[in-house]
Homo-oligomer: A and B are copies of this chain.
Amino acid sequence: MIEHTIELRVRYAETDQMGIVYYSNYLVWFEIARTELFRSKGVEYSRIERERDIFLPVTEAYCRYRAPLKYDDIVRITVKVADTGNSRLTFEYDVEKDGKTASAGYTRHAFVNKNGKPVAIPADIKKLLTMG
């Protein structure tokens, strides 16, 4: 299965007055993990948008929060390609701190052109995302 792991450090800006990471920031991290998974396969997501006029808007996002994360924590985020359809793609995420899952989630995406019309996943991208 295609997967990739990134590491990041929690920013002060990502905390809230409860003293822990504000819940929407996990979705930001998911996106960073996706970007780096693409890059690890030799694909720059920024170039997909810019040069091929293909976008991957999120159609669904889910996150379960198990253990809080704090400022300056180092977290590891593993992203997997969980499912690919004709013009759809699902990623699964696992957020770890000190080897334990702090949260987990998924995002579903559509492949669309700049007018928002669904397009088939280009064959080269599909291959990279499914065969490794």
- Hey, which bits of chain A sit against chain B, CB under 8 A? 11-13, 15-20, 22-25, 27-28, 31-32, 35, 44-46, 49, 55, 57-65, 68, 70-72, 116
Contact = CB atoms under 8 A, between A and B. Distances in A.
B63 A18 contact: no
A104 to B, nearest CB: 10
8 contacts: A13-B24, A15-B16, A15-B17, A18-B49, A18-B55, A24-B28, A45-B72, A62-B62
The 7 closest A-B pairs by CB, nearest first: A24-B27, A15-B17, A46-B72, A24-B24, A23-B58, A13-B28, A62-B62
Nearest to A28: B13
- Chain A binding surface, main DSSP class: mixed
User: What is the total number of copies of this protein in its complex?
Assistant: 4
Between A13, A24, A25, A57, the greatest number of chain B beta carbons within 10 A of the residue's beta carbon is seen for A24
Contact of A62 (B16, B32, B61): B61
A20 B62 contact: no
